[in-house]
Amino acid sequence: MQYHIQHFDELDSTNQEAMRQAMSGAHEGLVVVAKTQTAGKGRLGRTWHTIDQALAMTILLRPNIQALDVPKMSLLAGVAAHEALSLFVPQVGIKWPNDLLIHGKKVSGILTEMRCESTNVQAVVIGLGINISRPETIWPEDIQQAATDLSTAAGKIIKKEDVLTAVLESLDVWYARFLQEGFAPIHQAWWDAHVASGEKVRVFDGNDYIEGIAIALAKDGALCLLVNGKEQRIIAGDVSLMDK
């Protein structure tokens, strides 16, 4: 895939800009990168803090898939980002559904959004926020206990442009595999990289805490837990590992 990279000093959101351009006819492979986001978004409507030392990027894809299959694109992005960031820090792992961790702390998040007509997908934008190095002062108050960055973890300075290149190269490979081979290779690679595969976890679904063993990733992206001897599907929530 041929990428067309656009750099901005400031945007409301790289996802929003990519989607605006998608609706105006932009081709697959558009990459939007911003130094600062004024309205960066995370999962479940949360704010994504874009520090100067982070890479904020969004890729536009136009896969010929149904709307129900769009969650697979988030998992694809997770596998690609995991492979790319592992080049800099081998200890990177995926945490369901869309976080990348180093030693239990978040280094990257992924937000996938779509536009569709009926059930046919017109555009998918995949946004990634990646902490490249520490902020000059401190992490934003609501995330400082759970955040880390590539440079600190690697023990050396990591450059944004090197991470951007690695992510795009990895995404290109995995997206091509998805189009040619389907979801199966991504499904296996994601499960192999998941920090909680086969582990005891606690999930907060917005209302209750659910505890169980993470036993599988469903084809639709749901996390399957073994809870009191029965399988339970988790389609949304926050996962944390429990002590063994």
Q: How many CB atoms lie within 10 A of CB 115?
A: 13
Query: Would you call the peptide bond into 140 cis, given omega within 30 degrees of 0 as the criterion?
Result: no
Identify the CATH number of the domain defined by range 4-193.
3.30.930.10
What is 15-75 written as a DSSP string?
Answer: HHHHHHHHHTTPPTTEEEEEEEESS-B-GGGPBPP--TTEEEEEEEE--S-BGGGTHHHHH
Strands 54-61 and 120-131: antiparallel
CA distance readout (Å), 231 to 213, 223, 236: 9, 10, 16
Domain 200-241, second-level architecture: Roll (2.30)
Q: For residues 55 and 164, what is the distance between their CA atoms, to the nearest angstrom? A: 8
CB 88 within 8 A of CB 154: yes
Mean pLDDT of 149-163: 96
pLDDT of 118 reads: 79
Q: For residues 83 and 170, what is the distance between their CA atoms, to the nearest angstrom? A: 7
pLDDT of 136 reads: 66
Domain ranges of the chain: 4-193, 200-241
Q: At 15, list the tokens.
A: 């996802």
Mean pLDDT of 91-108: 94
Counting residues of the chain whose pLDDT is more than 70, the rounded percentage is 91
pLDDT of 144 reads: 47
100 exposed, middle or buried (CB, 10 Å; 0-12, 13-18, 19+)? buried
Bigger pLDDT: 201 vs 143: 201
Report whether pLDDT(143) > 60: no
How much is the pTM?
Answer: 0.91
> Residues 194-223: pLDDT tens digits?
999 999 999 998 889 999 999 999 988 899
Confidence of residue 146 (pLDDT cuts 50, 70, 90): confident
Strands (E), 118-204: 120-131, 200-204
